Copies of this chain bind each other. A is one copy, B any other.
Amino acid sequence: MLTERFLRNKRNVSLSLGERECLEAAISEVQTIEPRRVLVKAGDKLDHSTLLIDGIMSRHIDDHNGLRQLVAIHVPGDFVDLHAYPLKTLDHDVASMTTAVVGMVPHGKLDDIISERPQLGRKLWYATLLDAAIHRAWLFRLGRLAAVGRIAHFLCETNARLAAVGLSDGRQFPLALTQTDISEICGLTHVHVNRVMRQLREERLCIFRSSVVEILDPVGLAARGQFDPTYLYIDQ
């Protein structure tokens, strides 16, 4: 089922089978996207939103020097640009980081869902607010944490998000990002990311190699990143 990971294990919002089928039916088309494709540019007018089924996608804002700040990454089960439904245009770009499989959901079908199934509509709203909660955690990361903490926090978050949708066992997970990607997420240079990665390795906290993250000391890594997963609103 394409929507099986949507809001999976999220507090207060388990979808009924009927709701899940309804959402599934709203997917007009499934596409496979190459890695590193920019799908949406800031300002584009959108008539559909994108449910990520497989792979990793990102949202970013460009600066005047052609550098970019990632403002979100998305894992399977996330509605990548659902906020484009009320907002109509986006304030940032959307891109694939890996090969990605996505389901396109026309906004017209969302209109139908809202009017026919207001409870499901509320859950879509909720999904966009989870995104905002993650934005806030990223603000904390960038504003208050030094380089080691930022990367530790990011790795803990990604582990928790992937675990919630069954893509991490809590210790180890595939993550096909480069150190440059991490630098664009954490507001650092790729050179400094490399140094921090070595430090995490030497302190036996975490190893990130060959597109696999292995967390050796989950408690220690969380402490380094002052990571508290409450903001992810994961069940239990």
Contact = CB atoms under 8 A, between A and B. Distances in A.
Nearest to A223: B64
Interface SS of chain A: helix
Contacts of A114: 118, 122
Interface string A89-111: 00110000000000000000000
Given A144-B63, A144-B187, A231-B91, A69 B131 contact: no
A200 B140 CA distance: 26
B135 A136 contact: yes
A3 to B, nearest CB: 19
Given A129-B86, A142-B187, A144-B67, A61 B136 contact: yes
A16 interface: no
| Most B C-beta atoms less than 10 A away, residue of A70, A131, A187 | A187
Interface string A138-150: 1110111100000
A144 B63 CA distance: 7
Given A71-B139, A142-B142, A133 B64 contact: no
Interface string A71-93: 11000000000010011100110
A67 B184 CA distance: 25
Given A135-B135, A139-B139, A139-B142, 18 more contacts: A43-B230, A61-B137, A68-B144, A69-B139, A69-B140, A71-B136, A83-B129, A91-B137, A91-B233, A114-B122, A118-B118, A129-B132, A131-B132, A135-B136, A135-B139, A142-B142, A142-B143, A143-B184
23 contacts: A12-B88, A61-B136, A61-B144, A64-B226, A69-B139, A69-B143, A71-B136, A71-B139, A86-B125, A87-B126, A87-B129, A91-B133, A91-B233, A118-B118, A128-B128, A128-B132, A129-B132, A135-B135, A135-B136, A139-B142, A142-B187, A143-B186, A144-B187
